[in-house]
Every structure is written in C-alpha cells, then in structure tokens.
Amino acid sequence: MRLILRPGKAVIVTTTPLPTDLRTFITRYVHSVEQMEILRLLAEDTDRDWTASEVFKTIQSSRTSVTGNLEYFARERILRANPDGTYRFVPESAEIHRLAAELLQAYRERRVAVIEAIYQAPLAPIRDFAEAFRLRKDNP
C-alpha cells in the first residue's frame, strides 16, 4: 500500500505483488529496465528480425549495452541470433514464451511493479560469490 499526496488530497494506492512465477522469471532473466525494454520491443513484433542498431535507435541506450543484452538473451535462448547478425524473439520453450508474454502484459499494466521487481531481485547469490573471495585472517 502506498500513500500518494496530491494537492488538496491524499490517495491510497494498493499494489498486489507480481505472481511468483513472474518474479522468478525476472530474477533469472531480466536484470535491468534496458533488458526489459529490449525484451518488450522484440516480443511485441515476433515476425521481425532486428539488428542491434535498430534496437539501439528505438531503445536509445548504449550501443555496446544493447548488443551485449541481445547476445545475452540469445545465449539464454529467449532470442534467436541469426547468421546475418539479426535477432528475433523465439523462446526455446513454450513456458518461457508464456512467462515472457505475461511479463509484457504486466509491464503494460503495472510498469512500476515490474520495475520494482527488477531492482528488488535477490542479491544473495552475488553476496555469496563476493564472500567466497574475501580474504580473512583465521583465528587459531
């Protein structure tokens, strides 16, 4: 629940959390709003092949970052990387396709909730990884 203050009145807005399977999908595959925008762009036009340059012009982000994210989604088998250097939304499984479609619907209807979920993804695996490299002085 959130309280939004507007001139002359306060509005209480209730938000329901995203379904668990969508939050899991976000945690696994979508780590930034830029990635969400790339996924949205390609998934909304499944009959089109996109170059990194075309995606960059639409997303208006860093060319290097856009290219890296397209390659990332191709490695994760959400996008297909074509031999001519283009990309198309062709998820590896029906389940990924379903979850991506549900995520896009949630992004259209509840953009703030999706963005919050992206940035609230658990950091425990990152902390655990960093912890493994911390130098410690062992007490005898």
pLDDT of residue 8: 67
H helix or E strand, kind and range, residue 70: helix 63-75
Model's pTM, two decimal places?
A: 0.75
Separation of first and last alpha carbons in the chain: 51
Q: What is the CATH number of the domain that holds 26?
A: 1.10.10.10
CA-CA distance, 91 to 107, in Å (whole number)? 18
pLDDT at 124 (0 to 100): 46
Cα–Cα distance for residue pair 80/101, rounded to 1 Å: 17
Full residue range of the structural domain in which residue 32 is found: 18-124
Q: How many CB atoms lie within 10 A of CB 69?
A: 24
Structurally, how many domains does the chain consist of? 1
Domain contains 107: yes
Residue 5 lies in a domain: no
In a domain, 6, yes or no: no
d(CA 129, CA 121): 16
Residue 12 lies in a domain: no
pLDDT reported for residue 22: 93
With a cut of 70, list the residues of the chain below it in pLDDT.
1-15, 121-140
pLDDT reported for residue 13: 53
Answer whether residue 136 is part of any domain: no
